[in-house]
Structure 1
Amino acid sequence: MRLRNKPWAKDKLLEYPQYVVHNPEQNRGKWNEVFDAPQPLHIEIGTGKGRFITGMAKANPHINYIGIEMQESVIVSALDRIIEEELSNLKLMNVDAAELAKYFAPGDVDRVYLNFSDPWPKTRHEKRRLTFKSFLSVYEEILVPKGEIHFKTDNQGLFEYSLKSFSEYGLLLKYLSLDLHQSDFEGNIMTEYEEKFSSLGNRIYRCEVQYKN
């Protein structure tokens, strides 16, 4: 689906520095100073329109969250949600996930969420998948020891690929569901894509993996 351009998005993001982090490299190693309270930090990569990360921030006020999204015309919708909810434990970043180590020091992040990431199904695009080994290395660099990745998708091929990638990298599997909405998992917060795909009868896959060190 072609993304509708919103030429005003950049200006709107600049209008709300209390919610959108500009020049995030300046906060590397001191993210607790950005939030009202020093708390564990969880990030979502590819936050889209922000339904998941906003829901998580509302449900867990004892955790700080950052939603990361490359597309200005998409992340501005997430900003609208935060403005409406006035969430002090949630920020947004309009940056490329491949460069996270520029913005986060080792141990800055406690958990990474990957929800309904682009599957990049063609073999020649493998390196663009957010569960490719180069991305796993970036996450490992910024996470606390034994930090976790929580991954959710409706794409069976991407899920199988990701499980293999996690295993080859040496991550430990902590949780696995091949049909999340028919499982006993509690506290699930859906993304926009998740609601759409599950309403069509698509199975939702989910796993939690942990770094060994």
Structure 2
Amino acid sequence: MRLRNKPWAKDKIEQHPQYIVANPEMYKGKWHEVFGNKQPLHIEVGTGKGQFVTEMARANPGINYMGIELYDSVIVAALDRLIEADLPNLRLLNVNAADLEKYFAKNDVDRVYLNFSDPWPKIRHEKRRLTYKDFLKLYEDILVDQGEIHFKTDNQGLFEYSLMSFSDYGLLLKYVSLDFHKSDYQGNIMTEYEEKFSEKGNRIYRCEVKYQN
């Protein structure tokens, strides 16, 4: 996906520190100070334009949510959603997912969402996949014991790879659907990509996995 450059994006981000947390490393181990409570914290890695995480926060006021997105030109769309929704249990981080340990301590996070991540199909790019073993270790280091990853994609190859990666790492497969939109799952909240792909008739794959530490 080619991103359209938005030279004004960084200025807009800096103008809204109440929504996109500035200096997030300051809150490692104490994110309750940002939210003003000790509710569970769920993060979406690669939040894109923010539809999923915003609607999750709206539907679940007893859970705190964090949308994490690297690209300035993308996260400003999520920022617009949050400004309009003004949800007290949602914040955004404009950081690289590879650096999560800089911002979160062990037990800071209760659940990780990975939605329609870049499949990086070439073998030489395997380490960039968000379900690669190094990322699984990264999530383990910030999650509570027996924390969970919830994963959705329309890419069959990435899904098959991820199931193997989860299994090889020793995670427990709690839920697997090879055609999620035809399942009896209740309460699904779709991402922008999910809406787009499902309208085209693409199959959606989903799983929930749990660390066994």
In structure 2, C-alpha distance between the alignment counterparts of 1:193 and 1:36, rounded to whole Å: 32
In structure 1, C-alpha distance between the alignment counterparts of 2:36 and 2:109, rounded to whole Å: 17
In structure 2, C-alpha distance between the alignment counterparts of 1:191 and 1:44, rounded to whole Å: 11
In structure 2, C-alpha distance between the alignment counterparts of 1:117 and 1:2, rounded to whole Å: 15
Which amino acid in the other structure matches residue 9 of structure 2? A
Q: Which residue of 1 aligns with 2:78?
A: 78
In structure 1, C-alpha distance between the alignment counterparts of 2:204 and 2:36, rounded to whole Å: 35
Question: Residue 3 of structure 1: SS of its match in structure 2?
Answer: coil
In structure 2, C-alpha distance between the alignment counterparts of 1:29 and 1:173, rounded to whole Å: 28
In structure 2, C-alpha distance between the alignment counterparts of 1:71 and 1:96, rounded to whole Å: 9
Q: Which residue of 1 aligns with 2:206?
A: 206
Q: Which residue of 1 aligns with 2:100?
A: 100
Q: What is the CA-CA distance between 1:22 and the residue it aligns to?
A: 1.0
Which amino acid in the other structure matches residue 190 of structure 1? M
Q: Structure 1: 5+ residue runs without aligned partners?
A: none
In structure 2, C-alpha distance between the alignment counterparts of 1:186 and 1:72, rounded to whole Å: 33
Q: Where has structure 1 moved over 2 Å in runs of 4 or more? A: none
In structure 1, C-alpha distance between the alignment counterparts of 2:36 and 2:52, rounded to whole Å: 21
Q: Which residue of 1 aligns with 2:56?
A: 56
Which amino acid in the other structure matches residue 143 of structure 1? L
Question: Residue 22 of structure 2: SS of its match in structure 1?
Answer: coil
Which amino acid in the other structure matches residue 18 of structure 1? Q
Which amino acid in the other structure matches residue 211 of structure 2? Y
Q: Which residue of 2 aligns with 1:182?
A: 182
Tell me if the contact between 1:36 and 1:89 (Cα under 8 Å) persists in the aligned partners: no
Q: Which residue of 2 aligns with 1:167?
A: 167
Give the total of aligned pairs: 213
- Shifted more, 15-24 versus 58-67: the winner is 15-24
In structure 2, C-alpha distance between the alignment counterparts of 1:166 and 1:124, rounded to whole Å: 20
Tell me if the contact between 1:180 and 1:206 (Cα under 8 Å) persists in the aligned partners: yes
Which amino acid in the other structure matches residue 71 of structure 1? Y
In structure 1, C-alpha distance between the alignment counterparts of 2:38 and 2:14, rounded to whole Å: 25
Q: Which residue of 1 aligns with 2:47?
A: 47
Q: What is the CA-CA distance between 1:2 and the residue it aligns to?
A: 1.5
Provide, for residues 30-66 of structure 1, a one-character-per-residue CA deviation record: whole Å limited to 9, x for no partner: 0001003220000000000000000100000000000
Q: Which residue of 2 aligns with 1:143?
A: 143
Provide, for residues 100-153 of structure 1, a one-character-per-residue CA deviation record: whole Å limited to 9, x for no partner: 011000000000000000000000000000000000000000000000000000
In structure 1, C-alpha distance between the alignment counterparts of 2:36 and 2:53, rounded to whole Å: 18
Q: Which residue of 1 aligns with 2:28?
A: 28
Which amino acid in the other structure matches residue 201 of structure 1? G
Question: Residue 186 of structure 2: SS of its match in structure 1?
Answer: coil
Provide, for residues 162-190 of structure 1, a one-character-per-residue CA deviation record: whole Å limited to 9, x for no partner: 00000000000001111111000011000
